[in-house]
Amino acid sequence: MSLLRQPLLLLARSEKVKNLVTRMPVSAGIVRSYVPGEAAANAVDATARLVGDDLRVTLDYLGEDTLDVDQADATVHAYLDLLTALSARGLTRHAEVSVKLSAIGQALPQQGHKIALENARTICRAARNAGTTVTLDMEDHTTTDATLATLRELRKDFPETGAVVQAYLHRTEADCRALAYEGSRVRLCKGAYDEPESVAFQGRTDVDRSYIRCLKVLMAGQGYPMIATHDPRIITIASSLASRYGRGAGSYEFQLLYGARPEEQRRLAYAGETVRVYIPYGTEWYGYLMRRLAERPQNLTFFVRSLVSKK
Ligand SMILES: Cc1cc2nc3c(=O)[nH]c(=O)nc-3n(C[C@H](O)[C@H](O)[C@H](O)COP(=O)(O)OP(=O)(O)OC[C@H]3O[C@@H](n4cnc5c(N)ncnc54)[C@H](O)[C@@H]3O)c2cc1C
């Protein structure tokens, strides 16, 4: 792993640095390349463009670690407005939403689990009424059990709700076995947080090996794997596993982040693969941006240049 990964992930949680960095306009270079804008209209326009290129989308209203009930409610309303806007533009057949439970109350000191579950239900109901689905993003390892418990509750009424698992966690291969049942939508990613050795693989090779083991479990299973990676090697292996396990187009999908390898997104779609692009939007882009920089420190030069050139 890059030497810069850990410090950047620490900065992702620093209020001081956040205040400094977020004063730069969102349109500044690197931010704009990963986040289409702060308003729902920017995200919906980006969705329409990608859908026009035969891509699917999942939208994330940025925000996390909310410690305020009103803020959690505001996030729920942002999702409801987004779903209404997507529906009005006829986009819900191709666009779903991704939700972080910590943005809708999970981290609240009292009854966080219950509040997040109720809020997630409200979003799932609105998504279903709009003809689409919700996926629960996965956050740091201290929330994994609570998030999977909320997922199980939600799936009683909304079995279409997507799960996310992170290959860097030691537990994830077992989680994949438990989740690989019929109708179960499961996004497999490497994992974006700074996790201790006690719970997570630390080296790139170990994480990649774990990803492949998890992917085999999901591809061999009965569920719907959502392969979230930009890694060219893993994308190639996933395509050959699909053939090995007799999975046709539409029985799994690739997922990539907005702004990451856009030509590859289109190449895969052109080759007949289902490809979904994850679009984050909103004012709370700081933590998201820091995780992207931690993954790709070569973007740092670009980032620092846009910081110092700000008015
Ligand atoms: C759709 C989606 C949803 C996600 N949801 C979650 C979530 O809920 N929870 C969570 O913890 N994490 C999530 N992640 C982030 C994920 O865990 C990784 O941190 C992130 O995807 C980077 O890992 P990678 O698989 O792309 O491989 P890496 O090991 O970061 O990169 C491998 C190779 O991929 C290429 N590559 C990687 N990034 C880029 C880029 N930006 N531009 C060009 N090439 C690149 C390079 O060739 C690189 O060497 C999500 C990722 C995606 C794509």
**In whole angstroms, what is the distance from residue 278 CA to residue 296 CA?**
17
pLDDT tens column, 68-125: 999 999 999 999 999 999 999 999 999 999 999 999 999 999 899 999 999 999 999 9
pLDDT tens column, 282-303: 988 888 988 888 888 777 776 6
Nearest-atom number in ligand 1 for the CA of 211 is: 25
**In whole angstroms, what is the distance from residue 233 CA to residue 215 CA?**
13
Q: Is the pLDDT of residue 166 over 90?
A: yes
In the predicted model, what is the mean pLDDT of residues 143-157? Answer: 98
**230 CA distance to ligand 1 centroid (A)?**
5
**In whole angstroms, what is the distance from residue 187 CA to residue 60 CA?**
15
DSSP labels, 151-200: HHHHHHH-TT-BEEEETTBTTHHHHHHHH-STT-EEEEE---S---TTTB
**260 CA distance to ligand 1 centroid (A)?**
8
- Reported as type and span, the H/E element at residue 98 is strand 95-99
Nearest-atom number in ligand 1 for the CA of 137 is: 8
∠302-57-153 over CA atoms, to 5°?
115
Q: Read off the pTM.
A: 0.94
Q: How confident is the model at residue 58 (pLDDT cuts 50, 70, 90)?
A: very high
Report the nearest-CA residue for atom 49 of ligand 1. 231
Q: What is the pLDDT of residue 4?
A: 74
Pocket of ligand 1 (CB under 6 A): 137-138, 164, 166, 189-193, 228-232, 255-257, 260-261, 278, 295-296
Contact (Cβ atoms closer than 8 angstroms) between residue 126 and residue 80 = yes
**262 CA distance to ligand 1 centroid (A)?**
13
Contact (Cβ atoms closer than 8 angstroms) between residue 35 and residue 281 = yes
Q: What is the pLDDT of residue 189?
A: 98
What the block records as the tokens of 72 is: 């959690």
**296 CA distance to ligand 1 centroid (A)?**
9
Q: Is the pLDDT of residue 19 over 90?
A: no
**167 CA distance to ligand 1 centroid (A)?**
11
Residues taking part in catalysis = 137, 187
Q: What is the pLDDT of residue 24?
A: 67
∠129-133-135 over CA atoms, to 5°?
145
Q: Is the pLDDT of residue 226 over 70?
A: yes
Report the nearest-CA residue for atom 3 of ligand 1. 228
What the block records as the tokens of 188 is: 């497999």
Distances (CA, A) of 294 to 13, 14, 68, 233, 306: 13, 14, 28, 20, 17
Q: What is the pLDDT of residue 311?
A: 42
Report the nearest-CA residue for atom 33 of ligand 1. 231
Mean residue pLDDT of the chain comes to: 92
Q: What is the pLDDT of residue 302?
A: 66
CA atoms within 13 A on the CB side of 123: 34
Nearest-atom number in ligand 1 for the CA of 230 is: 26
Of the residues 295, 298, 299, which should be mutated to test ligand 1's pocket, given the most ligand atoms within 8 Å of the CB? Answer: 295
